[in-house]
Amino acid sequence: GQQLNQSPQSMFIQEGEDVSMNCTSSSIFNTWLWYKQDPGEGPVLLIALYKAGELTSNGRLTAQFGITRKDSFLNISASIPSDVGIYFCAGHTGTASKLTFGTGTRLQVTL
Amino acid sequence: DAGITQSPRYKITETGRQVTLMCHQTWSHSYMFWYRQDLGHGLRLIYYSAAADITDKGEVPDGYVVSRSKTENFPLTLESATRSQTSVYFCASTQWEGYNSPLHFGNGTRLTVT
């Protein structure tokens, strides 16, 4: 099946720092999604990207759909303690049943 | 409270036993999904359902059985649990299968098979 390589696997940062993580694929996707999973909970959708080159923001979060349609990145500016969690990228080619998830980036924020 | 709920939150069972994980959603979403989450693998699709009485295999269906007699419920059964099925299981739902219909996840069931 399709594989999404997500990096880094984990990050330890200080409060106030900016964070950048990315996702790459060997296959083309029509949609890129970014989810966040808080400890003990299910993933929650943060940002959805539908067009190559699209840059979308959601508060302190910014994500981009790569021009080649094989990659995406997520930036978090001025991190705060509640940003702690696992961030997943996901891509699909048009149907939810074909959604492929990355392996996740675990973010830890220290005061 | 409206939403998607999974039960139990935690389950310990022995190898060879049958165990059923429950999923219930109150949105009347057509599509429902079961994923498992394992370290190093992210989320992998086990089974999904497009409507009542319609189910299909995902990426890792072996050892699992699903049913969907009612739109709001989508139970997942491990007929004879194995240690490799120790995992966190997530149920999800969405209204339609199009690219702009995001998945809504439950809070998961952590299953340990001893």
Model pLDDT for residues A26-47, shown as the tens digit of each residue: 989 989 999 999 988 999 999 9
Distance CA(A101)–CA(B1), nearest Å, equals 28
Render pLDDT for A1-28 as a digit per residue (tens, 0 to 9): 567 899 999 999 999 999 999 999 998 9
Contacts of A95 in chain B (CB under 8 A): 97-99
Distance CA(A59)–CA(B18), nearest Å, equals 45
Residue with tokens 């699909």: A92
> Is B105's CB within 8 Å of A43's CB?
yes
Is the pLDDT at A96 greater than 80, yes or no?
Answer: no
Q: Minimal Cα–Cα distance from A104 to chain B, Å?
A: 6
> Is B43's CB within 8 Å of A30's CB?
no
Is residue B25 within 8 Å of residue B72, measured between CB atoms? yes
Percent of chain A, pLDDT > 90? 79
Q: Six-digit token pair at A8?
A: 């880094």
Render pLDDT for B7-49 as a digit per residue (tens, 0 to 9): 999 999 999 999 999 999 999 899 999 999 998 788 999 999 9
Q: Residue B88 belongs to what H/E stretch?
A: strand B87-94
